[in-house]
Structure 1
Amino acid sequence: MHLDWTALGEVAAVSVGVTVTVVVVFALGVLGLARREGARAQQDGTFTLGLGQATLCFLACAAVVAYGIHLIVPQLH
């Protein structure tokens, strides 16, 4: 049995990279929701900025998850 260690390393590196990226983007989405709540409490004008940040971050996370499901499920090809 022969293992292609280079390919295995590439897959592991990409998996770790994408995982870290999705976690950071999700955390930025949670930060946007926290900013939204803080702006609501202070009657500040940055209410929509926090909501927009959260929406974009959560949509990006959902897109990555949907793409992963598309790659895994053979009926979607």
Structure 2
Amino acid sequence: MHVDWATLAAIAVVAAAASVTVVLLVAFAVLGLSGSPARGSGGDGAPGTRSAAGTALAALCLLAAGLLVCYGLYLIVA
């Protein structure tokens, strides 16, 4: 049996990169929804309030993470 080590390494690198990307996108989404005022903003936001930009960032990050997961599932099924 012959193992194509170059292809195996490429698949491992792509899988690791995709995993890190999904985790980072979800982390940025949580950060966008955290509701804490940004450092250096003077703390002018009330605790627990979310900015529209933070909510939009969270929505875009979760959408991108979902699309990456769906694309991965498509590659597995197809």
| Residue-pair matches, total | 70
Shift of 1:59: 0.2
Q: RMSD value over aligned CA atoms? A: 2.0
Aligned to 2:40: none
The equivalent residue for 1:60 is: 64
Instruction: Map 1:30-69 onto structure 2 (within 5 A).
Output: 30-35=30-35, 38=36, 42=46, 47-69=51-73
Work out the CA distance in 2 between the residues paired with 1:46 and 1:29. 12
Looking at structure 1, the residues matched to 26 and 51 of structure 2 have their Cα atoms a distance apart, in angstroms, of 19
> What stretches of structure 1 move > 6 A for 4+ residues in a row?
none
TM-score by length of 2: 0.79
Give me the whole-angstrom Cα distance separating, in 2, the residues matched to 1:22 and 1:9.
20
What letter corresponds to residue 77 of structure 2 in structure 1?
V
Identity of aligned residues (%): 40
The TM-score normalised by the length of structure 1 is: 0.80
1:46 CA drift (Å): 6.4
Partner of residue 17, structure 1: 17
Q: Which has the larger share of helix?
A: 1
Which structure carries more relative contact order (alpha carbon 8 Å, separation 6+)? Answer: 2
